[in-house]
């Protein structure tokens, strides 16, 4: 089968890494398309280099813009490619604007559509990601759900016939990366951090970065920690810290560094005493690596991590962040809710449902 896979944002390069391999192993022909949503070297190229994913066959170079303009440019570029490449199906990941653009183009050009990481719901319709994932799920032909909870969400919306529980492809990627990172990453030496002696933080959600009061409250919470706090800053966060005059506060108390590559990030997460994050992917990776996670949001799609006791939701409340980071009672439950590390092969198999 000829598959046109659409990626564009950092977490999608990581998700594509095990899936591209599995598609090739299963004998499918893949045309990998990068929309260009993320374009800085450390937000894009670094992942292709270190993960050994083939360079995308096409890069649409859409860059940053408003949601409408960005999504529209992606759709136009993808529609041209569908005409040129004539794929049997499109495959999209997660919940970004690149996901939605790929989904709408698949429907409008009468191609099959496979959604990897289907069925996630935060219940917060103010997040652009929630709209992207709901719309994508409802027009997909094959819904690759990473967890039993995601399957239940899809059943509740009447989508069970198109759903398959594949497990989570990020778990496949993280298992590989953990071992590679322990062996090859020198990030702790470079940043002069002691294993187990620092807190890792990431912040990039629009709701946190684009609200100066929330961003400041988060910084204050992180500043309360006695250990070094390292913050690999997403470009969006860096520009907001400057815009809101919070740069000095951030750099006085935190080690603000450029975003790091995947292996370095996994090493940082593996060696951290705690992580504070508003990322979806990082919450899960923290769970895989058994690093206690303090989530800087009011809700999460990855409810299993909270139910097991390895993740706590604190929003942007300074005192709650401080208290959660000081907690010592973390647990991880008995089972493995994210599959057995072979999700990518299950995604490749799921194409037979088209
Ligand atoms: C996007 C996704 C979000 C995902 C995140 C992963 C949407 C709506 N949001 O958010 O779901 O969690 O990616 O990281 O699709 N920028 C740069 N260089 C880059 C990329 C971005 O400077 O390489 C800056 C630009 O100022 C841009 C801003 O970051 O306006 C936001 O980028 P954008 O891709 O629109 O959204 P993210 O916040 O990255
Ligand atoms: N990540 C990375 N370098 C960083 C920060 C994150 O490689 O400096 C990886 C992280 O391991 C995870 C993914 O990027 O796999 C998460 O991306 P992000 O937080 O940007 O997006 P989300 O998962 O929230 O959509």
Distance 281 CA to ligand 2 centre (A): 6
Strand residues in the chain grouped as ranges (E): 2-7, 29-34, 58-59, 89-93, 112-116, 142-145, 163-165, 199-202, 229-232, 255-257, 274-277, 293-295, 311-313
Tell me the pLDDT band of 78, cut-offs 50, 70 and 90. very high
Binding-site residues, ligand 2, Cβ < 6 A: 10-11, 14, 202, 204, 232, 259-262, 265-266, 279-282, 285
* CB-neighbour burial class of residue 248 (10 A; exposed 0-12, middle 13-18, buried 19+): exposed
Q: From 14, 17, 19, select the one nearest 346 (Cα to Cα).
A: 19
User: Does residue 334 register a pLDDT over 90?
Assistant: no
* Helices vs. strands in the chain: H and E counts, helices first: 17, 13
From atom 28 of ligand 1, which residue's Cα is the shortest distance away?
Answer: 236
**Looking at residue 72, what is its pLDDT?**
98
Q: Residue 335 above 90 pLDDT?
A: no
The pLDDT of residue 237 is above 90: yes
Contacts for 21 with CB less than 8 Å, ≥ 6 apart: 344
Ligand nearest to the CA of 284: 2
Quick: pLDDT tens for 110-121: 999 999 999 999
Nearest CA to ligand 1 atom 9: 96
Quickly count: other Cβ atoms within 10 Å of residue 342's Cβ.
Answer: 17
- Which residue in 34, 38, 115, 204 is the catalytic one? 204
The reply to whether 234 belongs to the active site is no
Tell me how long the chain is. 354
Query: Ligand 1 test: best mutation among 8, 96, 100, 132, most atoms within 8 Å of CB?
Result: 96
CA 326 to ligand 1 center in whole angstroms:
31
CA of 110 to the centre of ligand 2 (A): 32
Does ligand 1 lie within 6 Å of residue 39's CB atom? yes
Q: How far away, in angstroms, is 145 Cα from ligand 2 center?
A: 20
pLDDT band at 156 (very low <50, low <70, confident <90, very high): very high
Residue 258's nearest CA partner among 191, 183, 331 is 191
- Residues 286-322 pLDDT 10s: 999 999 999 999 999 999 999 999 999 999 999 999 9
Q: Are 302 and 202 in contact (CB under 8 A)?
A: no
| Ranges in the chain annotated CATH 3.40.50.2000 | 2-168+339-353, 175-326
Spelled out in words, what is the top-level CATH class assigned to the domain 2-168+339-353? alpha beta
Residue nearest to atom 10 of ligand 2 (CA): 282
Which pLDDT tens digit goes with each residue over 340-354? 999 999 999 999 999
Percent of the chain with pLDDT over 90: 98
Write down the ipTM of this complex: 0.99
CB of 205 within 6 A of ligand 1: the answer is no
Q: Which pLDDT score, from 0 to 100, does residue 242 have?
A: 98
**Per-residue pLDDT at 83 exceeds 90:** yes
Ligand 2 centroid vs 279 CA: distance in angstroms? 7
User: Of the ligands numbered here, which is closest to the C-alpha atom of 70?
Assistant: 1
**CA atoms lying within 13 Å on the CB side of residue 319:** 0
The ligand minimizing its distance to the Cα of 200 is 2
Looking at ligand 2, which atom is closest to the CA of residue 260? 8
Which architecture, in CATH terms, is 175-326?
Answer: 3-Layer(aba) Sandwich (3.40)
Tokens representing residue 45 in the block: 């190229």
Question: Would you say 325 and 307 are in contact if contact means Cβ atoms under 8 Å apart?
Answer: no
């Amino acid at each position: 089968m000829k598959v046109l896979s659409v990626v564009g944002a950092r977490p999608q390069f990581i998700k594509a890494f095990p899936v591209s391999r599995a598609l090739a192993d299963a004998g499918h022909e893949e045309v990998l398309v990068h929309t260009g949503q993320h374009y800085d070297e450390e937000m894009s190229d670094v992942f292709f280099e270190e993960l050994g994913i083939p360079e995308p066959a096409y890069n649409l170079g859409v860059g940053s813009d408003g949601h409408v303009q960005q999504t529209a440019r992606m759709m136009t570029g993808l529609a041209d490619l569908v005409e040129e490449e004539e794929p049997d199906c499109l495959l999209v990941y997660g919940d970004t604007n690149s996901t939605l653009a790929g989904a709408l183009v698949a429907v409008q050009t009468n191609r099959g559509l496979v959604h990897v990481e289907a069925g996630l719901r935060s219940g917060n319709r103010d997040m652009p990601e929630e709209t992207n994932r709901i719309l994508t799920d409802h027009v997909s032909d094959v819904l690759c759900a990473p967890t039993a909870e995601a399957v239940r969400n899809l059943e509740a919306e009447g989508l069970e016939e198109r759903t398959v529980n594949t497990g989570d492809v990020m778990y496949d990627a993280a298992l590989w990366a953990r071992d590679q990172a322990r062996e090859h990453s020198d990030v702790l030496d470079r940043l002069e951090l002691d294993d187990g002696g620092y807190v890792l933080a990431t912040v990039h959600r629009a709701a946190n970065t684009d609200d100066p009061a929330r961003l400041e409250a988060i910084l204050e919470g992180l500043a309360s920690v006695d250990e070094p706090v390292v913050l690999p800053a997403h470009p969006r966060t860096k520009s907001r810290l400057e815009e809101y005059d919070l740069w000095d506060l951030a750099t006085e108390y935190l080690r603000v560094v450029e975003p790091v590559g995947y292996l370095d990030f996994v090493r940082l997460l593996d060696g951290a005493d705690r992580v504070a994050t508003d990322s979806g992917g990082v919450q899960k990776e923290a769970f895989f690596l058994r690093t206690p996670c303090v989530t800087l949001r009011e809700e999460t799609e990855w409810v299993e991590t909270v139910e097991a006791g390895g993740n706590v939701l604190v929003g942007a409340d300074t005192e709650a962040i401080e208290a959660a980071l000081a907690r010592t009672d973390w647990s991880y439950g008995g089972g493995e809710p994210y599959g057995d590390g072979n999700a990518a092969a299950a995604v490749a198999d799921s194409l037979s449902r088209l």
